[in-house]
């Protein structure tokens, strides 16, 4: 119900942004990418397209930062404000995703997950998550996974609410790593891996 209400609220914004994307670089408004969700189930993740059409090398998919030359001027804005992620409300309504959870990964890296990393697939992936509000692109992949597993193993409705509130802060102030949260998650990851 929350996702449906959110979809109605953001629909006018999505229409305006979609028109701006099309006016700047005629082509598809949406970007679809295969991702892995809960229990290794694959689905098509939706985003607003933020890169120039036909200029994206295959190996860069999922790794191009907002300041990269492949990102359009409008793409820089919508990435900074996280507007490019709003079409994932559809993924939430379909049951592929949740509002909060570990971000869904592309299939390649997931195939190489060890037992600890696979724990992040025990819940639905989210539009935002503990790693996203504690550094996101400033973090290494192992750091993101440690934060994701911390989230999975410490989940509560209150924790989700805390992440949603912190997400608003990230949109307003930008991404900054949280060393305290990261140190706790890394210590937890090291302990979990040792105790197997």
**pLDDT tens-digit map of 2-16:** 788 888 888 999 999
pLDDT value of position 6: 82
Quick check: 55 pLDDT over 50? yes
Alpha carbons 99 and 13: distance in angstroms, whole number: 19
Q: Measured in whole angstroms, how far is the alpha carbon of residue 20 from the centre of its chain?
A: 23
pLDDT value of position 147: 98
Both tokens of 70, joined, read 């492949």
For the segment 27-40, what is each residue's pLDDT rounded down to a tens digit?
899 999 999 999 99
Identity of the highest mean pLDDT range in 18-27, 47-56, 67-76, 145-154? 145-154
Give 151: exposed, middle or buried? Use CB within 10 Å, 0-12, 13-18, 19+.
Answer: buried
For the segment 139-154, what is each residue's pLDDT rounded down to a tens digit?
999 999 999 999 999 9
Distances (CA, A) of 169 to 61, 161, 164: 27, 13, 9
Average pLDDT, the chain: 91
Over residues 77-92, mean pLDDT: 95
Q: According to DSSP H, which parts of the chain are helical?
A: 2-24, 73-80, 88-94, 107-111, 115-118, 141-153, 157-173, 179-195
Give the residue from 91, 152, 164 showing the smallest Cα distance to 123: 152
Report DSSP state, residue 59. Answer: G
Please count the CA atoms within 13 angstroms of the CA of 145 that sit on its side-chain side: 18
Both tokens of 61, joined, read 């998919």
For the full predicted model, state whether its pTM sits above 0.95: no
For 86, the 3-state DSSP assignment is coil
Report DSSP state, residue 51. Answer: B
Quick check: 196 pLDDT over 80? no
pLDDT value of position 27: 87
pLDDT value of position 60: 47
Alpha carbons 179 and 137: distance in angstroms, whole number: 14
pLDDT value of position 64: 60
* pLDDT level of residue 59 (50, 70, 90 thresholds): very low
């Amino acid at each position: 119900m929350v996702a449906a209400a959110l979809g109605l609220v953001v629909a006018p914004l999505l229409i305006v942004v979609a028109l701006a994307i099309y006016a700047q670089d005629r082509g598809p408004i949406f970007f679809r990418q295969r991702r892995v969700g809960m229990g290794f189930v694959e689905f098509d993740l939706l985003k607003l397209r933020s890169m120039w059409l036909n200029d994206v090398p295959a190996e860069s998919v999922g790794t191009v930062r907002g300041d990269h030359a492949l990102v359009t001027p409008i793409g820089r804005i919508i990435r900074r404000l996280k507007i490019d992620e709003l079409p994932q409300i559809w993924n939430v309504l379909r049951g592929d995703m949740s509002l909060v959870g570990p971000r869904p990964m592309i299939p390649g890296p997931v195939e190489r997950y060890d037992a600890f990393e696979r724990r992040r697939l025990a819940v639905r992936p989210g539009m935002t998550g503990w790693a996203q509000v504690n550094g996101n692109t400033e973090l290494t992949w192992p750091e993101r996974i440690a934060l994701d597993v911390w989230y999975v193993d410490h989940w509560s409705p209150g924790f989700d609410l805390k992440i949603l509130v912190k997400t608003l802060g990230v949109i307003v102030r930008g991404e900054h790593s949280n060393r305290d949260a990261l140190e706790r998650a890394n210590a937890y990851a090291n302990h979990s891996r040792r105790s197997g």
